[in-house]
A and B are shown apart, each in its own frame.
Chain A
């Protein structure tokens, strides 16, 4: 009756339709299902009659395979329902992938394959599907990946599908500039922009299924692979691939569950990665990724020429190329929207998931369990203590700076130490996001020096003992309470040994190049540089010592605007 519900806002969804919404910066809404049939957001089923927060800037859609009634706390300005959805196609794709997973599982366990384990009547299916999703910017690559993952994880089969995020501009689990490899175990909800495929664990077990996703991270440091940066990129991808291969060697469930790779939209550029030494090469980074991950299925979103090109290129290798329609609901993102998304992603890494807005408190009824926010830590660390490196050729000194007559023979992946005392526009360190990379003993390049013995000792201390840093002040989410301990004593404790040693050489990077594409331990942001005291102020996710004092810089910057 109208009288009983004139203040409630309902959205009726026809069977097979989806409700699309684009939330503005000040729009936080909550939706709940008021009908018995399942309703999905990115193929994750909405809990029944429970408010489900949809937070600002989110652009997504809620899909109802059968008739459904949604109640929303407020109607977004930009919203509509549509029956043109790609969900049925996603389901079809999922069923095909699921079939391969089941066959692989049966093959691995030696169980009955019913004679169906032979795809072409010849080849037994021995492992789960390895899918790579390609497409232009804003075509919904990550959304397709998320849907496929969610459908696989909600099948009840306990799959452990790998997610390789090879799109630094739209990071799956971490922050912009990163690559990641993760194995979510539960369907991933969609509440906000950040980490669409789940976030890495915090110190407290999460209360929702979107967090606590076991994640490995790598640092590319830029939003897109470029031809110049190809060398580092290739090594990073190889490193991700190795980790996945090793995992599959040990984890048969992962092997059977397969892998889904999200890629950078730069991949659709055929000339990307084409170098002078092989000018005819096309899609060389795509090919490299396919080889690295042993991709068997390539899903190309809405790009006909790309599909045909890649079919021609890859069919001989036995890779299926599936052209997948672009969702009519996909929204073209402008640069401003991307910047907002990037800022939110970095913020969510440090501060955890956005909390449930106050205005939802007045809603009656049950609310989806929210994550508790995180408190990052801010402290000062000496220039000499934290070694900031850049990876790659472009960061080397210009060749005109070389001594006359000498030519440069440099590795394209060489490490360069950033000198913080230089001019700010050169060092570009303020507000820069750094990735902390672990250093093993053997990473040190031993220097031949007269006092070799002492040097060896130093190597040992350096490698085994991370420099400890006192926290100055846990930065609180709400109120930054004043530091309780004085600042003065910070670096007195910061390992005298290193200081002496670091003073010895300024430019020489004492680490092997592999450090540049090793998995990273996390990210920090330089929020301040004190040239007098020669200190950085950094924001770190965890309290206590940094796990390593070697950090990689890139071109990713972040300023907390909230």
Chain B
């Protein structure tokens, strides 16, 4: 793509230079080009007319990045949009602005709070000057709408950004740009906001602390004043001083850019203080050193000390000879609000002392939850004197972290819980992926005793342990979770033959799910084993197969052992029970220990296994394999071996003798078949390993 990287380098001089209609592509190409950026840029290039589907699509993609919390790509979106706007011919700029509008309104934060504002405040005025009258009026209209389309009915990007844009468009320029930086409203506001936030926290943490609450009140008031009225430089300075005094630590004073300081400049944009200062080509250049000094220095205290009501400061730009449209900033301009009084108020509340930050030295910082407890208790809403009409908000502020998948909230600082929750989502999503359509069913309810004793601290997600004990029926076929996980990793390449490929698992009758194996670079069926010999060539679900085999063994053992466990039922058809996997591994062990197991069992196969029994009788004449139900790895590893690939290669039949001579023959497919060079023909790396190990062990025993 021709715009591989993004550069925020000022493409044109700051003053008095009309930008060319189309901009040169970015000069600082970044070495790595994200495919998403390329794609997004190319889609953007198609946006040359007002195409709603396209705008929607591009918005959706921007939203997708937000949903994934992919900041890099969100940044890319914004950068590419800016590029697109700047490079588009004047008549094609509007659709892209609509896209910005769509993203801002449909997605909101963080685009509106972090990503778009810096860009928009410099781009919008620049574009405004390029376009024709109709577009201009559309753009003005759009700005007007932004005033009220924010989430709370306020400004979409916050008042500071809108003002910056309006200044840029309507001409009150140069406010912040003087030789020595005077205080801008944004600066004060940002410090104010930061202070306010800190105080809010403080007051939330100590709700009984009247002082903190009062401070918050005053700060909010100041915020309104600064926001809503024209405040003189002197007053700004004074407020700033007070705020600084309030903040024990040095408050970082934002650089006076047109970028609102509370919007962190995105990392890839180099701070360019001059950037975006609108320089209308139609207007004479604005002298860079307008004497702003009059409002600073010695003059400031004088104005403040007079204690007079806030006099609307004449717009600084008015001192320039420019023909300027009046700034339609806000309706409160002439409200006489006595800033000095408020400041006095501030000092009375002890805010300015800067020493009363921590009236009670905390021995150890309380956790968010402890603070929440204190807060609830301090509300003193009691059942005995409950006023249902009192206005309360559901307290959520102590839970600042939010899971974006299910909206569950977590306290800040409890990383472990949050991680556990995300893990839970991951497991469930994966699990659902794997087991969809696999005959899940409602479990029987627990007995009272189980329920009473089955409680765990709810942490990551819905109760987990309850599912374990909910089913008191214990089939002897239980697989350990580890074993199930192992089995589910097994894979078989999807058969070429379409008939075969459409065959379901013979046991559970569910079809297989195709999956792309990145290692093998082919389509595979997961959780599958291939059973192949003279009579049968079918693919089973690995879990089904294993459970069936286990249950057959178990029922056979029970029959022959005479007195099996009471939970076993002689005639029970082995039913693949996927819940069984969750059951405790102890059940397996218990079965293993049962005396019945010592009985040597002749293989007789019923059910889906069908002819395998006969097959084995004939095939594996005299050869006995040992296997223990639950002995992992040995048997199953070989089952993936694709015999057809090794036709003609002598078969090595592995014989495993267990020390206790607990020989139980296993079905035919458990023969580990190897080509003579002992090179496994199938399976992933892990299976290779298992198989080799199994073979090695077997060889050892055999020799």
Q: Does A pair with B?
A: yes
A204 B67 Cβ-Cβ under 8 A? no
A204 B473 Cβ-Cβ under 8 A? no
A95 B431 Cβ-Cβ under 8 A? no
Q: Of A22-30, A401-409, A467-475, A507-515, which binds chain B? A: A467-475
Interface check A253, CB cutoff 8 A: yes
A545 neighbours in B (Cβ, 8 Å): 473, 569, 572
Interface check B22, CB cutoff 8 A: no
Q: Which positions 575-596 of chain B face chain A at CB distance < 8 Å?
A: 575, 577-579
A89 neighbours in B (Cβ, 8 Å): 388-389
B52 neighbours in A (Cβ, 8 Å): 3-4, 6-7
Residue of A nearest to B368 (CB): A156
A375 neighbours in B (Cβ, 8 Å): 439-441
Interface check B454, CB cutoff 8 A: yes
Q: How far is the CA of A167 from the CA of B624 in the complex (A)?
A: 61
Interface check B463, CB cutoff 8 A: yes
A96 neighbours in B (Cβ, 8 Å): 381-383, 386
Binary per-residue interface labels of chain A (134-154) against chain B in the complex, 1 for a CB within 8 Å, 0 otherwise: 000000000000000001001
A395 neighbours in B (Cβ, 8 Å): none
Interface check B364, CB cutoff 8 A: no
| Chain B facing A: main interface SS | loop
Q: Which positions 472-498 of chain B face chain A at CB distance < 8 Å?
A: 472-473, 475
A156 B399 Cβ-Cβ under 8 A? yes
B417 to chain A, nearest CB (A): 9
Interface check B306, CB cutoff 8 A: no
Q: How far is the CA of A547 from the CA of B470 in the complex (A)?
A: 12
Q: Which residues of A contact B (CB under 8 A)?
A: 1, 3-8, 34-38, 40, 43-50, 65-69, 71, 88-89, 91-100, 102-103, 106, 114, 116, 119-120, 129, 151, 154-158, 160, 181, 183-187, 199-209, 211-217, 239, 242-243, 246-247, 250-251, 253-254, 296-297, 320, 322, 324-325, 349-350, 352, 364-366, 368-369, 372-377, 436, 438, 464-466, 468, 470-471, 474, 481, 484-485, 493, 518-522, 541-545, 547
Q: How far is the CA of A205 from the CA of B436 in the complex (A)?
A: 12
Q: A3-B52, A67-B151, A372-B432 are in contact. Are A352 and B381 (CB under 8 A)?
A: no
B379 A95 Cβ-Cβ under 8 A? yes
Q: How far is the CA of A129 from the CA of B381 in the complex (A)?
A: 13
B439 A474 Cβ-Cβ under 8 A? yes
Set B388, B396, B452, B464: member contacting A93, Cβ < 8 A: B388
Residue of A nearest to B113 (CB): A36
A213 B462 Cβ-Cβ under 8 A? yes
User: 11 more A-B contacts (CB under 8 A) besides A5-B102, A48-B402, A541-B443?
Assistant: A47-B406, A89-B388, A92-B390, A185-B458, A209-B461, A212-B464, A246-B452, A369-B428, A369-B429, A543-B441, A544-B475
Q: How far is the CA of A521 from the CA of B393 in the complex (A)?
A: 41
Instruction: List 9 A-B pairs, minimum CB-CB distance, nearest first.
Output: A185-B458, A214-B466, A203-B579, A541-B442, A493-B571, A212-B462, A47-B407, A207-B428, A204-B440
Q: Which positions 55-77 of chain B face chain A at CB distance < 8 Å?
A: 55-56, 59-60, 63-64, 66-67
B73 to chain A, nearest CB (A): 16
Interface check B411, CB cutoff 8 A: yes
Q: How far is the CA of A5 from the CA of B55 in the complex (A)?
A: 9
A46 neighbours in B (Cβ, 8 Å): 407
Which of A98, A350, A471 gathers most chain B CB within 10 Å? A98
Residue of A nearest to B508 (CB): A474
Interface check B446, CB cutoff 8 A: yes
B454 neighbours in A (Cβ, 8 Å): 214
A36 neighbours in B (Cβ, 8 Å): 108-109, 151
B436 neighbours in A (Cβ, 8 Å): 372
B442 A45 Cβ-Cβ under 8 A? no
A438 B447 Cβ-Cβ under 8 A? yes
A208 neighbours in B (Cβ, 8 Å): 406, 462
Q: Which positions 401-416 of chain B face chain A at CB distance < 8 Å?
A: 402-411
Q: A374-B442, A541-B441 are in contact. Are A369 and B381 (CB under 8 A)?
A: no
Q: How far is the CA of A545 from the CA of B458 in the complex (A)?
A: 32
B461 neighbours in A (Cβ, 8 Å): 185-186, 209
A324 to chain B, nearest CB (A): 7
Residue of B nearest to A12 (CB): B153
A547 B472 Cβ-Cβ under 8 A? yes
Q: Can you give 22 A-B contacts (C-beta < 8 A)?
A: A8-B106, A34-B107, A45-B409, A92-B381, A96-B382, A97-B383, A151-B394, A155-B372, A156-B368, A204-B438, A207-B432, A211-B462, A214-B446, A217-B445, A250-B455, A365-B63, A369-B428, A470-B573, A474-B439, A522-B444, A544-B473, A547-B473
Residue of B nearest to A181 (CB): B451
B373 neighbours in A (Cβ, 8 Å): 102, 106, 157
A125 to chain B, nearest CB (A): 10
B386 A521 Cβ-Cβ under 8 A? no
Set B368, B376, B404: member contacting A47, Cβ < 8 A: B404
B448 neighbours in A (Cβ, 8 Å): 216, 239, 242-243, 246, 518-519
A544 B575 Cβ-Cβ under 8 A? yes
Interface check B362, CB cutoff 8 A: no
Set B107, B443, B572: member contacting A200, Cβ < 8 A: B443
Interface check B369, CB cutoff 8 A: yes
Interface check B105, CB cutoff 8 A: yes
Q: How far is the CA of A184 from the CA of B566 in the complex (A)?
A: 33
Which of B403, B467, B509, B572 gathers most chain A CB within 10 Å? B467
Q: How far is the CA of A69 from the CA of B109 in the complex (A)?
A: 14
Set B105, B369, B390, B394: member contacting A94, Cβ < 8 A: B394
B383 A215 Cβ-Cβ under 8 A? no
A121 to chain B, nearest CB (A): 11
A183 B377 Cβ-Cβ under 8 A? no
B473 A93 Cβ-Cβ under 8 A? no
A322 B386 Cβ-Cβ under 8 A? yes
A185 B443 Cβ-Cβ under 8 A? no
B609 to chain A, nearest CB (A): 14
Residue of A nearest to B108 (CB): A36
B55 neighbours in A (Cβ, 8 Å): 4
B399 neighbours in A (Cβ, 8 Å): 154-156
Q: A129-B383, A542-B441 are in contact. Are A65 and B575 (CB under 8 A)?
A: no
B577 A543 Cβ-Cβ under 8 A? yes
A250 neighbours in B (Cβ, 8 Å): 452-453, 455
A99 B376 Cβ-Cβ under 8 A? yes
A237 to chain B, nearest CB (A): 14
Q: How far is the CA of A181 from the CA of B383 in the complex (A)?
A: 24
A157 B409 Cβ-Cβ under 8 A? no
A202 B444 Cβ-Cβ under 8 A? no
Interface check B295, CB cutoff 8 A: no
Q: A3-B50, A243-B448, A436-B444 are in contact. Are A212 and B466 (CB under 8 A)?
A: yes
A471 to chain B, nearest CB (A): 6
Q: Which positions 220-277 of chain B face chain A at CB distance < 8 Å?
A: none
Which of A3, A6, A40, A97 gathers most chain B CB within 10 Å? A3
Set A3, A67, A320, A372: member contacting B383, Cβ < 8 A: A320
Q: How far is the CA of A481 from the CA of B461 in the complex (A)?
A: 35
B440 neighbours in A (Cβ, 8 Å): 202-204, 352, 372-375
B407 A92 Cβ-Cβ under 8 A? no
A102 B376 Cβ-Cβ under 8 A? yes
B392 A92 Cβ-Cβ under 8 A? yes
Q: How far is the CA of A187 from the CA of B410 in the complex (A)?
A: 13
Q: A66-B152, A203-B441 are in contact. Are A99 and B377 (CB under 8 A)?
A: yes
Q: How far is the CA of A542 from the CA of B470 in the complex (A)?
A: 12
Q: How far is the CA of A547 from the CA of B443 in the complex (A)?
A: 11
B376 neighbours in A (Cβ, 8 Å): 95, 98-99, 102
Set B410, B428, B573: member contacting A471, Cβ < 8 A: B573
Set B106, B384, B394: member contacting A5, Cβ < 8 A: B106
A520 neighbours in B (Cβ, 8 Å): 445
Which of B388, B439, B470 gathers most chain A CB within 10 Å? B388
B152 neighbours in A (Cβ, 8 Å): 37, 66-67
Q: How far is the CA of A47 from the CA of B407 in the complex (A)?
A: 4
B429 A186 Cβ-Cβ under 8 A? no
B444 A214 Cβ-Cβ under 8 A? no
B599 to chain A, nearest CB (A): 21
